[in-house]
Structure 1
Amino acid sequence: MRHLTRRNALLGAAGLPLLARGAAAQPAGRVVVGTWGGDYARLLRKNVEEPFLVSKGFEVVQDQAGDAPRRAKMVAERRLPRGTVDIQGLSAANIYEMGEAGVAEPIDYGRLKNAANLIPAMRYQFGVGHIYSGKVVLFNPKLVEAPRGFRDCLDPKHGSKIGIIDIQYQFVMVAAALAAGGSVSNIEPGKALLLEAKKAGARVYPTNEAFAQAMKTEEIGLGLMWKARGVQWQNADIPVQLVAPVEGIPMYVSGFSIQRNAPNKAGAYAYMDAMLERQAQEAFAVDMGFNPTVTNAVVAPDLQARIGFTEAERARLVDLDYAYLAKENSAMKEWWDKVFKG
């Protein structure tokens, strides 16, 4: 296991943040944002776009789709002088992948006035971290005993009480690998564990929302999910409790990249600055249960206790191997679709 190499930054240390040169006021214009739909799109509209962009005269258009088709579109448009999207919402793993593919713009942090407050670990060459959490085990104590981690969660004894989310195949495979003695750089050991769970009756749900509904109706009793989502579902009275897995807690960072041939790069930088505003970050912590990526955000102690991680849990945070995931993603998806789901 490759433990989080930037852990000190995530513990709240500001490190030595780069000082933004101070961006001039951005002209209003049309900004096209590639994003997932559902709650995230709604909260981007509520907490970022309307208060910090629309109010200043920007027209913000959301291009909602899963990350796979949006990434495919970025690659397909690479030879066009102007793409159709300015800024794309992606996981940190996919930010790396799009940078390697040559379709994402290197970030000029001097153009972001809020860069001085950004946690150093959330500065990527081809993107900026918006929010972060970690993969934990969710369970219903009425239906199953409290698991200790990923291996307990995927134990075939739970049969059809196990829920697995299709769109999170990368992170499910990483979690299974950690449970089976593999690592973030070697997912092979986890495949047998997943196949055993599937053979025992584990159910696969297409989306996070479908998984949540199954937990609510008690169709399933446990599964893998971001801690932030678990907190959000607790707030919605879905009967789940959360366990930080003993095998390690894979990090999840959701951020944004600027398309290299974006029609409105100035607008894309304005969008990034808006998402890093203290009030927007604090609102996402309240509304979605994700941790802020800026050091000046203030989260109430009771909320921080629910969405954050204890000192012992932070020691188990695991940074993903983004280069490995980018290299293996196609093979992982093929195995997932043809072998695991097939």
Structure 2
Amino acid sequence: MNPRRRRQLGIQKGDIDMTKFTKGIDRRTTLKGMGLAAAGALLPASLATPASAQAAGRVVVGTWGGDYARLLNKNIEEPFLKSKGFEVVQDQASDAPRRAKMVAERRLPRGTTDIQGLSAAQMFEMNAAGLAEPIDYSKLKNAGNIIPIAKYPYGIGHIISGKVVVYNPKLVTPAPTSYKDAFDPKYGNKLGFIDIQYQYVMLAAGLAAAGDMTALEKGKELLLAAKRGGARIYPTNEAFAQALKTEEISIGLMWKARAVQWQNAGITVDSVAPVEGTMAYISGFMIPKNAPNKAGAYAYMDAMLEKSAQEAFAVDMGYAPTVTNAVVAADLMKRIGFTEEENKKMKDLDYAFLAKNDAAMKEWWDKVFKA
């Protein structure tokens, strides 16, 4: 560049002459670059800068749909997360495809969800597959309130209920007291089982027969005796409920929380915690190892453990809280919870045993018991 032109542009001696670096770049190339920059500016932030969208507080929650998803939004997301600027996105699907997606994404440095809602057995399964982030309880201000049975190295229980004996008090007298009563052939075709709950039915039979959930062979004897007596098998929880409503059956096994929901719907049904000890049902959340926003996942876990969130789920869904500081009205707690003595006898499942034996259990159930 000549000295006169340098003076016009205000370029001092010793400054870098950028024209040397742009020589050869024609007008078409320059305009093309400007066009790309403009197009990038028009892209949604989630597409233009995916990493920054996550870092800004976007939390993707894998969960079942229906009432549970609605109540997560009502009792957790709106009051505790969205109000603080988090963007919460629910990835709704049944647990099987969500677990399959986690397995498919295992080699990715960043998965598509930050936190996953699963049963305790399914959380165990994902941890055994190497997909769960170990929980750092020091990151949770509400960690000290969690009841021991809901506290896992790889996940946290959000709601808890138990497998109880349900019965129609008009048709079953005296009232049952044990799991063994729920397999008694004397009830004939008034006794019902639920197909999709084969695992829990077989474990309950083991407890009834030998005081041990793993005593599958002893439990099978009880089941076959009930079958010979005329016991019915229903495909789903809803079909079982309908049979109770019409009095086609009068006794069986179900989660206490679901029995409360049926009572609220006008079905004549009571429940009893079995003397053998109630098998726990725990549903909660885990963090995938490759979750993009782990800080957001911890914020979600802390929100679900908030006293008022837990109390709201007890009212709305009939599940007992998993934190000790939640206060539930005595009449409601009597319906959804368990006495101090019953809580002491509550039994968490042996998830390692269940994972190892599930295939054989399903095969026997389908080919022998249902045949």
| TM-score relative to the length of structure 2 | 0.77
Shift of 1:27: 6.3
* C-alpha distance in structure 2 between counterparts of 1:198 and 1:67, whole Å: 30
- Residues 1:120 and 1:150: Cα distance change in structure 2 (over 3 Å): closer
Match of 2:21 in 1: none
Match of 1:276 in 2: 305
Match of 1:15 in 2: none
**Residues 86 and 265, structure 1, Cα contact 8 Å, conserved in 2:** yes
- Residues 1:115 and 1:193: Cα distance change in structure 2 (over 3 Å): same
Match of 1:207 in 2: 236
Compare 229-238 and 290-299 and name the one that shifted more: 229-238
Match of 2:12 in 1: none
Secondary structure of 1:188's aligned partner: helix
Alignment of 1:238 with 2:267, yes or no, is yes
1:1-342 superposed matches below 5 A: 29-145=57-173, 146-342=175-371
**Residues 86 and 268, structure 1, Cα contact 8 Å, conserved in 2:** yes
* C-alpha distance in structure 2 between counterparts of 1:183 and 1:230, whole Å: 25
- Residues 1:78 and 1:195: Cα distance change in structure 2 (over 3 Å): farther
**Residues 149 and 348, structure 2, Cα contact 8 Å, conserved in 1:** no
Shift of 1:300: 1.5
Deviations 1:13-49 (A, max 9, x none): xxxxxxxxxxxxx965433322233433332232222
Secondary structure of 1:269's aligned partner: helix
Shift of 1:182: 5.0
* C-alpha distance in structure 2 between counterparts of 1:210 and 1:37, whole Å: 20
Shift of 1:68: 3.5
Q: Percent sequence identity over matched residues?
A: 74
* C-alpha distance in structure 1 between counterparts of 2:211 and 2:187, whole Å: 22
* C-alpha distance in structure 2 between counterparts of 1:67 and 1:61, whole Å: 17
* C-alpha distance in structure 2 between counterparts of 1:122 and 1:276, whole Å: 11
| TM-score relative to the length of structure 1 | 0.83
**Residues 281 and 297, structure 1, Cα contact 8 Å, conserved in 2:** yes
Compare 258-267 and 156-165 and name the one that shifted more: 156-165
Secondary structure of 1:287's aligned partner: helix
Unaligned runs of 5+ in 1: 1-25
Shift of 1:149: 1.7
- Residues 1:191 and 1:271: Cα distance change in structure 2 (over 3 Å): same
Deviations 1:184-207 (A, max 9, x none): 233232123223334544333343
Deviations 1:66-122 (A, max 9, x none): 334433332233222232332222222222222121011101112222213222332
Q: Which amino acid aligns with 2:98?
A: R
- Residues 1:75 and 1:201: Cα distance change in structure 2 (over 3 Å): farther
Deviations 1:113-139 (A, max 9, x none): 221322233221000111212211110
- Which structure has the larger Rg? 2
Shift of 1:283: 0.7
Count how many residue pairs are aligned between Structure 1 and Structure 2.
317
- Residues 1:148 and 1:259: Cα distance change in structure 2 (over 3 Å): same
Shift of 1:161: 2.3
**Residues 28 and 267, structure 1, Cα contact 8 Å, conserved in 2:** no
* C-alpha distance in structure 1 between counterparts of 2:59 and 2:303, whole Å: 12
Measured on the aligned residues, the alpha-carbon RMSD in Å equals 2.4
- Residues 1:222 and 1:301: Cα distance change in structure 2 (over 3 Å): same
Unaligned runs of 5+ in 2: 1-53
